[in-house]
Amino acid sequence: MDNIENRQLRQTRTFKVPIDLMWEVWTQPEHIMQWWGPTGFTNTNKLMDFREGGEWLFTMHGPDGKDYANRSLFKEIVPKEKIVFEHFGPHFITTVLFISQGDETLIDWTVELDSEEILKTLVREVNAAEGQKQNLDKLEQYLLKRQTK
């Protein structure tokens, strides 16, 4: 399910994996760098200091050959429940909730921008809502590969 409202992009999806595996692929750079970003993007991790106040620096490599530097700070981490980080350029706050449902995990992912205008611009210019959905699609594919190993 996706939702664009006020200053927020929001996606929810249930994955057929337990919370332990879901948490692992979100919090360890060797995993998240394999699936993060829209379709066609790859990543190079520079630093992922996964703790409250820690910095996350990486470069997304677009299918167009352009590189996109990313910088975020982890604001709140509740193990196996919540990750909140602040992204710079463009500025937004991401909140990801992890809800264990037995052998499945629900992800509730909200990106809140500084204004409705910035959100509209990102949706119009880079199709941000679709990019967020594609990110979850890539996560789902990565999890399928991990489960078959």
Residue range 29-45: mean pLDDT, rounded: 96
Q: Which tens digit of pLDDT belongs to each residue from 111-137?
A: 999 999 998 888 888 888 899 999 999
Residues 55-77, buried b or exposed e (16+ Cβ, 10 A)? ebebebeeeeeeeeebebebeeb
Q: Which tens digit of pLDDT belongs to each residue from 46-85?
A: 999 999 999 999 999 999 999 999 999 999 999 999 999 9
Does 3 score more than 70 pLDDT? no
Share of the chain above pLDDT 70, in %: 96
Mean pLDDT of the chain: 94
pLDDT of 124? 87
pLDDT of 1? 45
Does 44 score more than 60 pLDDT? yes
